[in-house]
Amino acid sequence: MTDTDAWTPRRPLLSGALAALGCGLLLTGAGVMAVFAHGVPGYVQILYLVPVLGGMFGVLRLGIPEVRYALPMLVLAVLLIATVPAGFRSAILDLRGEHVQVTVTEVVHEGGRSYASSNQYHRCKVEAVDGPLWVKSDDSKCGAATRPGDRFQILRDPGNLVSASTDDSTPVSFTLLVPAVAGALLLLTILGARSLNHTTTNQHQKA
């Protein structure tokens, strides 16, 4: 099929906008789905790749062959994939998280040549009221100087709905996450509309 024989929508701006928005929502939904799928078997979690790959293919298909549209659309898609799961977990903690006192039972120092190296990554296994969990590196609580028996507070998701916990006292809120994701979706929609409109215009000019 040649370029002149290819399907062209009657309303390329609207079609491109809807297609790009659909891809963005697919990627966003996949990120949220990944957060809630923490307790399911691994083979079920693989299904997360289906909407991700579908959304990425749609974004690239809309942007190609115009690099000026394809590149920023790809960047926005990657940002949605990378930030939505972490942002959603943090927003859940902000919404329903509770502060709990924990006791360090094990400290793991990884990387760096010296014990107190700033390049080290620290993980602390802590004991909470409802069981043990791991806390990520934080020099103020879980760091090079942390020892078993130390106590501090963490913000944890009660009931382990999204398997999230943090020692950060200021998690991302939905009031920040929603506008940020909406802004990315809006930009993706505009770029998709312009890309398809530009491609369609070029096809008509060649016909």
Q: pLDDT tens digits, residue range 46-103?
A: 777 788 888 888 888 887 777 888 899 999 999 999 999 989 988 888 888 888 888 9
pLDDT digits (tens, 9 = 90+) for 24-53: 999 999 888 888 876 666 666 677 778 888
| 160: three-class secondary structure by DSSP | helix
Q: Does domain 98-156 have CATH number 3.30.450?
A: no
Evaluate if residue 12 carries a pLDDT over 90.
no
Side by side, which strands form the sheet with 98-110? Answer: 131-135, 121-128, 98-110, 151-156, 165-166
Q: Looking at residue 167, what is its pLDDT?
A: 58
Q: Looking at residue 169, what is its pLDDT?
A: 61
Ordered by start, the domain boundaries in the chain are 12-94+171-206, 98-156
What pairs with residue 124 in β-bridges? 107, 135
**Structure-token pair, residue 81:** 């994939």
pLDDT digits (tens, 9 = 90+) for 114-172: 444 455 677 888 888 777 878 776 556 788 888 899 998 888 877 767 766 665 567 88
Q: Rounded to two decimals, what is the model's pTM?
A: 0.74
Q: Looking at residue 117, what is its pLDDT?
A: 47
**Confidence band for 185, pLDDT divided at 50, 70 and 90:** very high
Distance between CA atoms of residues 124 and 115, nearest Å: 15
Closest CA to 193 of 23, 75, 46: 23
Query: What amino acid occupies position 193?
Result: A
Evaluate if residue 177 carries a pLDDT over 90.
yes
